[in-house]
Amino acid sequence: MKCIDKGLVIWLTGLPGSGKTTIANKVASILREKRYRVEVIDGDWARKTISLGAGYTREERKMHLHRIAWVARLLARNGVIVICSFVSPYRDVRKMIREIISEEAPFIEVYVKCPLEECIRRDPKGLYKKALRGEIKHFTGISDPYEEPLNPEITVDTVNNSVEENASTIINYLSENFGIDP
């Protein structure tokens, strides 16, 4: 395994169903093939483990993501490439995450761009249907806002580009900016 001196954190943000975790897993797979130490932390896993019981109000999301940022920071400072896949809908919370991580490791914000209509069409977990019926409160994009990043390091488009193309965009950025094998 390749252990880089200082890891980094790749933080994928976007609407539910936009393709964040799919891209995160593809990037992780490519990096693991190149023998890098990689961890993927996604929302579903985190809510079942380190953030058990976390809710979806603005304040609950902030506390949940604060925990995740610290876990990612600890891993990254030990030479791990950490790929986080979270809706993380609020700009101020993403700013807090960036500040926590950037004290010890590079932070790369990746906006996974996908129109709400397409996310609703995909609806892989049936959550949009429930949210539209009012069965889910604080659902991002329906009853809660998603604030698009203003200056992400990378933007990928899951409507016009394939998973492979989007993963390649991220890998190329890592190669150009951090010397990661392309």
Structural domains for the chain? 8-174 (3.40.50.300)
Summarised one tens digit per residue, pLDDT across range 102-133 is 999 999 999 999 999 999 999 989 999 999 99
- In this predicted model, what pLDDT tens digit does every residue of 25-77 receive, in sequence order? 999 999 999 999 999 999 989 999 999 889 999 999 999 999 999 999 999 99
Does this model's pTM top 0.85? My answer is: yes
Q: Which residues are catalytic?
A: 88
Q: Give the C-alpha separation, 83 to 58, whole Å.
A: 23
The answer to whether residues 41 and 82 touch, using CB atoms and an 8 Å cutoff, is yes
The C-alpha atoms of residue 84 and residue 59 are separated, in whole angstroms, by 20
